[in-house]
Structure 1
Amino acid sequence: MRRTIILLLLSLILLSGCHEEAPYRSAEGLIFGTLYRVTYQADEDLSDQIDEALQEVNRVANPFDSTSMIYAINNNLSMTVDSTFYAIYSAARSVYELSGGAYDVTIAPLVNAWGFGFEAGYPLTQPQVDSLLELVGMDKVSCTPTELTKASPSMELDFASVAKGYASDLVGERLRRAGVTNYLVEIGGEIAYSGRNPRGTAWRIGISKPELDSLGFNQELQEVIDLPGERGGLATSGNYRNYKIATDGRIYGHTISALSGYPAETDILSASVIAPTCAEADALATAFMVLGYESSKAMRTQLSSDISYLLFVSTGDSLAFTPISSPSFPRSH
């Protein structure tokens, strides 16, 4: 009897030892005019769930899609919203308040006027800027889980600074519903992550050196970091990939200040933020770009302990910069 029990135990040990772990899979493609790539560990292909999540955000937040919810709102066709829209709006509203109004998703009229949206863009005069600023301000908009109201029908919303982050989070959420605990979702550089990589270690990513490169040919990395904790989001914002060159040769970036109405010209060349969600990290990174290092001090002191940042701050000498990070940001060594 004892020998039978021992043999049975040995069989169970051998069987458990032979169990193969689920393979790591990948899915990639285009969404929101940029590339996405998802790496995840699962027994089955979950591409359909990934695509479903991406299309859900596209349906809500793509201003160039005439069937989207934000298009309807911007063009006063409907003010009805759903839980996805409300979640994106709420994430943006939180950072709007934290940044003292510097970060604002009602910036769309100015984004368009400066040539980063539907219009070709043109040099704006101060009266033109002042006129457009009348249409900017999240304090002029209210949103419930079912309806949005705006003070003027000419007001428009732009979720570009938060939608990719939210979409990364949503893909991660759908993967977790399917039982996946190890994944990395990247959409245009905005990352949601959980668990470990195929080597069983923390997910490792690179942060680009902030050099003017509209085509993305330069892949030189300034930092290589291990993403901390079991789950979170990382986003990086910078003007070195999306910018315009005026007829006088002046370069201006796509980050528009909701306070001045002009392209933000601050000393922060790039901002990387790690937060519990990628949507929050996405919006905060943009807020840093708008505010600059000194003006972001109040916001930095209010950040919770589970948010960290790395800022590439210009020294005033061309593109020379100094990396400045919060103590908990996982710098490379």
Structure 2
Amino acid sequence: MRRTVTLLLLWLILLSGCHKEAPYRSAEGLIFGTLYRITYQADEDLSDQINEALQEVNHVANPFDSTSMLYAVNNNLSMTVDSTFYAIYSVARRVYEQSGGAYDVTIAPLVNAWGFGFEEGYSLTQVQVDSLLELVGMDKVSCTPAELTKETPSMELDFASVAKGYASDLVGARLRRAGVTNYLVEIGGEIAYSGRNPRGAAWRIGISKPDLDSLGLSQELQEVIDLPGERGGVATSGNYRNFKVTPEGRLYGHTISALSGYPAETDILSATVLAPTCAEADALATAFMASGYEGSEAMRKQLSSDVSYLLFVSSGDSLAFTPISSPSFPQSH
């Protein structure tokens, strides 16, 4: 009898050990010139898989890396692309069409000319803007999973508005491949998430108040929300962190209108988008910024029902604003 009890206790101990939950782990570092922070639940350290995913996107979409695929395409060294490049391009192309051309990743020459890319930037004349606009338009490029073609060799692509979101998705996909169901991947503010946080609750994030703060020192939150569903992506775009000031004291932000060729002077100070993927949310947030509130309302009708958004719409010349959200956007805590 004693032996039977001992075996039963041993079996119960083994069972309890089998059901022990895996710990939550964290990883952080620098990629694409910005910080990434990742929290995930796993029995083992998955840093290798995370780094592999990050470097895959970096090799494809970093325009400053002379060994990247995007650098080769922009400099006409090679038009050969791969499935990752094509996937990023495809998200951008879809949002380009949804936005009526307000969002356009071929805007790189104008981004550079206004000082948000490789160059310092300068005051452009209308003639210069019109000349650069000749190099802009996703209808002038085409892409397959193997090759990209450009109507004009001088055309360049800028994936900055979608690459971080895609990278967050790709890290999430690699974590799921390793059996992870609970994670939050954040790269420069663009988030892919799944499952629950370490407390067993929905992942909770804060949305910053749109204060002019080029150094990112302000941490004042306007909204705090629980991320809905089992999996998704969220991204925020705003000109209040990345802007320039002219010698005359005039401010202009980094969102450039592909339609006018000038920095987008819209009534949207900040756009936060929830979507099935972070890449889609990333591109749509920029599209909302470039389109303004009226344009965003028109664009909204083309979006699927699983996309929701929160816009901080300017109330006038100051930074006073009105939060406007779609019906399905989570309520703030």
**1:332 alignment counterpart:** 332
Shift of 1:16: 3.3
In structure 2, C-alpha distance between the alignment counterparts of 1:102 and 1:9, rounded to whole Å: 68
In structure 2, C-alpha distance between the alignment counterparts of 1:303 and 1:189, rounded to whole Å: 22
**1:143 alignment counterpart:** 143
Alignment of 1:70-219 (within 5 A): 70-219=70-219
**2:57 alignment counterpart:** 57
**2:300 alignment counterpart:** 300
In structure 1, C-alpha distance between the alignment counterparts of 2:152 and 2:301, rounded to whole Å: 34
Identity rate, percent = 86
More displaced 10-residue stretch of structure 1: 136-145 or 298-307:
298-307
Instruction: Summarize deviations over 1:26-62 as a string: whole Å, max 9, x none.
Output: 0000000000011000000000110110000000000
The AA in structure 1 aligned to 2:70 is I
**1:249 alignment counterpart:** 249
Does the alignment pair 1:16 with 2:2? no
Shift of 1:17: 3.6
The AA in structure 2 aligned to 1:90 is S
More displaced 10-residue stretch of structure 1: 277-286 or 300-309:
300-309
Q: Partner of 1:328: helix, strand, or coil?
A: coil
Give the unaligned 5+ runs of structure 1: none
Q: Partner of 1:161: helix, strand, or coil?
A: coil
**1:288 alignment counterpart:** 288
In structure 2, C-alpha distance between the alignment counterparts of 1:34 and 1:246, rounded to whole Å: 25
In structure 1, C-alpha distance between the alignment counterparts of 2:287 and 2:8, rounded to whole Å: 59
Q: Partner of 1:244: helix, strand, or coil?
A: strand
Shift of 1:331: 2.1
In structure 2, C-alpha distance between the alignment counterparts of 1:298 and 1:253, rounded to whole Å: 23
In structure 2, C-alpha distance between the alignment counterparts of 1:229 and 1:14, rounded to whole Å: 35
Does the alignment pair 1:27 with 2:27? yes
Q: Partner of 1:295: helix, strand, or coil?
A: helix
Q: Partner of 2:109: helix, strand, or coil?
A: helix
**1:269 alignment counterpart:** 269
In structure 2, C-alpha distance between the alignment counterparts of 1:31 and 1:240, rounded to whole Å: 22
Q: How many pairs does the alignment contain?
A: 331
In structure 2, C-alpha distance between the alignment counterparts of 1:151 and 1:39, rounded to whole Å: 43
Instruction: Summarize deviations over 1:120-165 as a string: whole Å, max 9, x none.
Output: 1000000000000000000000000000000000000000000000
RMSD (Å) for aligned C-alpha atoms: 1.6
Shift of 1:8: 7.9
Shift of 1:71: 0.4
In structure 2, C-alpha distance between the alignment counterparts of 1:228 and 1:82, rounded to whole Å: 33
In structure 2, C-alpha distance between the alignment counterparts of 1:317 and 1:137, rounded to whole Å: 31
The AA in structure 2 aligned to 1:175 is L
The AA in structure 2 aligned to 1:325 is S
In structure 2, C-alpha distance between the alignment counterparts of 1:262 and 1:131, rounded to whole Å: 12
Shift of 1:239: 0.4
Shift of 1:14: 5.4
Instruction: Summarize deviations over 1:293-318 as a string: whole Å, max 9, x none.
Output: 01222211121111100000000040
Instruction: Summarize deviations over 1:217-269 as a string: whole Å, max 9, x none.
Output: 00000001100000000000000010000111000000000000000000000
Shift of 1:321: 0.3
